[in-house]
Amino acid sequence: MSSKFTNTKLIKDETNRLGFMYCGVSKAGFLEEEAPRLEQWLNKNMHGSMAYMERNFDKRLDPTKLVPGAKSVVSLLLNYFPSELQRDDAAPKISKYALGKDYHFVVKDKLKDFMSRIHEEIGEVGGRVFVDSAPVMERQWAAKSGLGWLGKNSLLLNKQRGSFYFLAELIIDLELEEDGPMQDYCGTCTKCIDACPTDAIVGDGIVDASKCISYLTIELKDDLSRDFADKMEDWVFGCDICQDVCPWNRFSKPHQEEAFQSHSLLTEMDKKDWEEMPNSSACTKYKGDLGE
């Protein structure tokens, strides 16, 4: 039995202990097919005011430039689908991923634990861990390793669990058994495209972020354009519309991660509570109350 096989099995077994749903492996290298797509997306200014998307173009496409000596990209999925949702349908809406503790801290702790375990069982393995914190094309790597396919809304879709999960990566200098990609199961379905109120999904797998409600409620620092003012559908932090209508998300099941449990401050507030908040920035208030 090869050490490559043994090491891969050890890493995938550790995935379950840490609560990740799935683990897939790809060979670290240049994402040749993604290069022209990313360049075109940037040239059309679909990244809006997210200037950081323009930086580190080469590193974004090649993890060996981000982590010298990298041989493998280990992609991970962590479920965040909540069991407790906002109770008042008329209240301003918050994306499901933001109902619990900030995922950056939760997932990063798990990844550090993961690397420590690798060092204990395998030895000195170099690399870095990532969770939406560096120029890594997470969805593309996850798709490349067979964890799902990129849907028309550009999100990674999984046949068993849909798309309500966080993505994370280990980019390491350890050679592992590679997993292959899976086919696209979206077919002729256009539910996500048809449901988007701002027409942000402009092509198969292409989203104009400058029109996306998630961008408009989180990333955009300027005043909201009148073009979008009546299209927000009460979303104040993020947006789940394209995920909520996706047929594959009928398979979503509540997570088992205590840190992601929906905070009662968010789920119990009704429309009147929101309207009476003295601070117009509701998200600033609830983040402060949660100690984040």
- The residues with which 162 forms a beta bridge, in sequence order, are 158
Cα end-to-end distance, the chain, whole Å: 47
For 67, 111, 249, 259, 261, the CA distances from 103, given in Å and listed in that order, are 23, 12, 20, 8, 11
Cα–Cα nearest to 252, from 79, 103, 18, 93: 79
Residue 230 annotated among the catalytic residues of the structure: no
Which residues touch 23 (CB under 8 Å, ≥6 apart)?
11, 12, 15, 74, 75, 76, 77, 147
| Catalytic entry in 88, 102, 132, 273 | 132
Q: Please check whether residue 217 is in contact with residue 235, taking contact to mean a CB–CB distance below 8 angstroms.
A: yes
Give φ, ψ of 288 to 5 degrees.
-65, -40
Cα–Cα nearest to 11, from 145, 174, 148: 174
Return the active site residues. Answer: 132
